[in-house]
Amino acid sequence: MKQYIIAIVAGLFVLASCQERNPDLFMDISGVYFNNTTGGMTVVDSLDVTFVYEAEDVVEVPVKVQLLGRTADEERPFGISVHSENAREGIDYELPLQAVLPAGESSVDYIVRLKRTPALKSEKKMLHLRISENEHFGLPVTEIVQVSDTVSVLDYRIYFSDMFTKAPSAWDANLLGEFTQSKFELICRVLDVDPGDFNDSSLMTLARQLYICTEMTAYVQGEVAKKAAGENYDAEAFDPQTGEPLKFTR
């Protein structure tokens, strides 16, 4: 049944664009839904965010809310709720003060601000956003049927962490050794490297990684010497699991 509803709504868009052959029917529709895409026209109902490539401690995630119907001359609030079982508002994330579709606009980005916390090093958190109807907007579309799957357009989930699932694309294990998050973070901090550079081979060249290897090996050796002499040393130069000095070669 929902597939038929979507087909009908799509047909209404076509009618509206063809010299408005049925304007009254189209004007009766006033709804909103999530319209977030990736890789072109594919609609998605979730997003996975990681802080590991971010230099800042806050990431802004735009969640697109789409109008179905005609624009209006005044702004109109839309219904949206955000829930989470393991993230706390104000600590792990911040929400806009208002959920409003501006006057004359057919869509708006509802900006969710994710915040980096120590807990994200070991735990992935999730926000569940849901659109609801109100006095301004109904819910004429609930899901979209695509080639590969059926996607909800009333629910949207944001997963976020400060963890790796795999090594950055430009990381060369022959020069920097086996990838670990501890080594990655130490490099970025000590040498002031932008984390995102490790996903761009044009920036993270072999020559640059050779330089990193040389500098970080010398740095760790210096911290080992400080530790042995009973001086203050950088604990992050040592593996958090084994306590052994980090190695930047195979």
pLDDT > 60? residue 145: yes
pLDDT above 90: percentage of residues in the chain: 80
E strands within 30-106?
A: 30-34, 37-38, 42-43, 46-50, 58-69, 76-77, 79-83, 93-94, 100-101
Rounded to 5°, the CA angle 230-234-240 comes to: 105
What would the pLDDT profile of 5-19 be if each residue is shown by its tens digit? 443 344 444 333 333
What would the pLDDT profile of 157-214 be if each residue is shown by its tens digit? 999 999 987 889 999 999 999 999 999 999 999 999 999 999 999 999 999 999 999 9
**More confident position, 18 or 218:** 218
Q: Token pair 């501006």 is at which residue? A: 102
What ranges in the chain are assigned the alpha helix state H?
Answer: 2-17, 23-27, 173-176, 181-190, 206-228
Q: Token pair 């629910």 is at which residue? A: 155
What is the pTM (predicted TM-score) of this model? 0.76
pLDDT > 80? residue 239: yes
Domains and CATH numbers, the chain: 2-161 (2.60.40.2030), 173-237 (no CATH)
Question: In this structure, are residues 175 and 204 in contact, taking their beta carbons and an 8 Å threshold?
Answer: no
Question: In this structure, are residues 115 and 76 in contact, taking their beta carbons and an 8 Å threshold?
Answer: no
